[in-house]
Copies of this chain bind each other. A is one copy, B any other.
């Protein structure tokens, strides 16, 4: 362990852009840079490049190109979907339903809307992080205008039954939005088969660039614009198009969805090796999230008696990049809202570690972590008053 090696296991936070994706983007910074809204040669080339990327995104999720609206990323897409529907339909009703374990881009948007007079129901989840379909059906009232349930949780990896949620919403005439930021490229996503009305995605989660994403808006769904200005995106999302980013997103989603099955198979195998290795080597560990219905690359465990942050620091020292949960909330001292929602005690939630596998990871990486992690946990437990208490209570000493 020299600390030189980098084992990156935080692919849920972000992925590197694949070299061939960056290669595809490069001409659009310096040579093919024309503003796609203009009419001369290089502008027409830009427009054609955007058309191609839009088709790639549409094809990847089985939508039509005119249902794909480009945004600056998953957060903008989530904000637009939720505020856009809320503002456009508030005369019909001011009730929104979501789950307690959504990404903050959904939760904080809903909380903002609550301050504007909307009422939001936060559905609880079971011990594995799954929403209950009967609870969803019960929560819908005549004033409900939108349900937003994520496709896959970013912290614990649990897959939600979005096709079933969508079916319930369709029957009740309520729009259904899903944040599929973590799902694209890892599990199949099909807006027709799953019958969703709105879907958010973000390129940097599937080996594309940061700062670019999309909102799928099913034809006929009506929502207010979030960004007003120029006539871009069929007059629904203003702002000069991020040309290189869009080209990168198109190429990246085509690549990701094309290799999704193989990617999922490989990561599932690595994840199982990692999980069983941890369980064999370390005591008092709990797997968070669903045992099987989860993202292939996501492993989230709680290590009793210690703090996740200590693990991160020592793992970083050993050259392993990991996280305790969402990157967006690091710096916060609050335990994860997701781990609390699945029933963990504060102390246990604080001892959680998220390892998310991706393209670069190998069996050697897994084995390296399996070598590095046990002494780290042991060292932290040695320092832990909670662990000392526990051992005394067991009369181990």
Question: Hey, which bits of chain A sit against chain B, CB under 8 A?
Answer: 6, 8, 10, 13-19, 21-22, 25-26, 29-31, 33-35, 37-43, 72-76, 78-79, 103-106, 108-109, 111-112, 202, 204, 209-212, 224-232, 238-245, 309, 312-313, 315-316, 320-323, 326-332
Contacts and interface: CB of A to CB of B under 8 A. Distances in A.
11 contacts: A8-B42, A13-B38, A14-B34, A22-B29, A37-B329, A38-B327, A40-B312, A40-B320, A74-B239, A75-B239, A211-B244
A37 B242 contact: no
B313 A39 contact: yes
A30 B34 contact: no
A242 B22 contact: no
Contacts of A330: 37-39, 231
Given A22-B26, A104-B229, A211-B241, 19 more contacts: A10-B34, A17-B33, A38-B327, A39-B316, A41-B321, A72-B211, A74-B240, A78-B229, A79-B226, A104-B228, A105-B230, A109-B228, A109-B229, A112-B228, A210-B241, A210-B244, A210-B245, A211-B244, A231-B331
Nearest to A243: B210
Given A34-B14, A230-B326, A76 B109 contact: no
Contacts of A332: 231
A185 to B, nearest CB: 16
A370 B33 CA distance: 25
B227 A79 contact: yes
A321 B210 contact: no
Contacts of A209: 29, 242, 244
A16 B38 contact: no
A210 B105 contact: no
A328 B242 contact: no
Contact of A31 (B15, B16, B112): B16
